[in-house]
């Protein structure tokens, strides 16, 4: 399972980084997020799914 963040859609709310700091990281001072590695560790999968569902811009894509 993998996750990516669309730089075009992300508006810097940083909700994902706040929800799952072990997976999402802030990429700039404006709150835009990124992932260090797109592969989602098994123990974080549910939390990453919830973060994607709660992203107001729908900037997070998860693929199996």
**Domain spans of the chain?**
2-63
The number of residues making up the chain comes to: 64
How much is the pLDDT for 38?
Answer: 95
- 18-56 residues labelled b (16+ CB within 10 A) or e (exposed): ebbeebbebbeeeebbbbeeeebeeebeebbbebbeebe
- Please determine, looking at this structure, whether the domain spanning 2-63 carries the CATH number 3.30.70.20: yes
Average pLDDT, the chain: 96
| Digit-coded pLDDT (tens) for 40-56 | 999 999 999 999 999 99
Farthest-apart Cα atoms in the chain, separation? 31
Quote the pLDDT of residue 37. Answer: 93
pTM of the predicted protein model? 0.91
Asked if residue 36 has pLDDT above 90, the reply is no
Residue 24 has, within 13 A of its CA and on its CB side, a CA count of 30
């Amino acid at each position: 399972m993998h996750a990516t963040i669309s730089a075009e859609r992300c508006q810097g709310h940083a909700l994902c980084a706040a929800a799952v700091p072990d997976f999402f990281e802030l990429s700039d001072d404006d709150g835009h997020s990124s992932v260090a590695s797109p592969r989602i560790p098994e123990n974080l999968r549910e939390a990453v799914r919830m973060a994607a569902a709660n992203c107001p811009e729908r900037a997070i894509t998860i693929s199996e």
